Amino acid sequence: MANNRRHIENTFAHLILILFSIFYLFPFFWSITSSIKTRMELFAIPPVWIPRGPDYLANYMDFFTRFPVTDRMFNSLVVAVSSTVLSLLIGTIAAYSLARFRFKGRNDVAFWILSTRFFPPAAVAVPVFILFQTANLIYNHAFHNESSICRLVSSRFYR
């Protein structure tokens, strides 16, 4: 009897999980299928669930030939990689110096770095923007992640 009850509970739990999965995955399915539909299939009533067109990639080919997307993606890649490398380099040096060297104000600097993580990013967005604008660092992406990199890397050196 207990085994039968457990089987029913597991079946019910799996059914609930499947329903939640369908609910949460449906927007992804709709976005992907909508991106490969023709304009007629996109606005058809009743909706077309699976595109019937022979050329599924026509929308993507049109997008990549009409707009300079590859150039912008390359620029974003250069900015992301260079800012990550520079932040890791500076953050590692700062974290090592905070963890290994004893100097006046060490705890204050460590607390300041840690205190930047206390606030949600939305609460400090305007003050950080004004600070970066004053320091002429608005278009310099390398310094945006410095405090979080220093905090993450410093834990490795406290041994």
User: Could you report the per-residue pLDDT of 63-102, keeping only the tens digit for each?
Assistant: 888 888 888 888 888 888 888 888 888 888 888 888 888 8
- Tokens 């995955």 locate to 25
CA–CA gap between residue 17 and residue 9 (Å, rounded): 12
CA–CA gap between residue 98 and residue 125 (Å, rounded): 26
Q: Over the stretch 18-34, which tens digit does the pLDDT of each residue have?
A: 999 999 999 999 888 88
CA–CA gap between residue 91 and residue 124 (Å, rounded): 20
Mean per-residue pLDDT for 96-125?
A: 81
Other CB atoms within a 10 A radius of the CB of residue 77 amount to 10
The pTM (predicted TM-score) of the whole model is: 0.48
Whether 45 and 61 have beta carbons less than 8 Å apart is answered as no
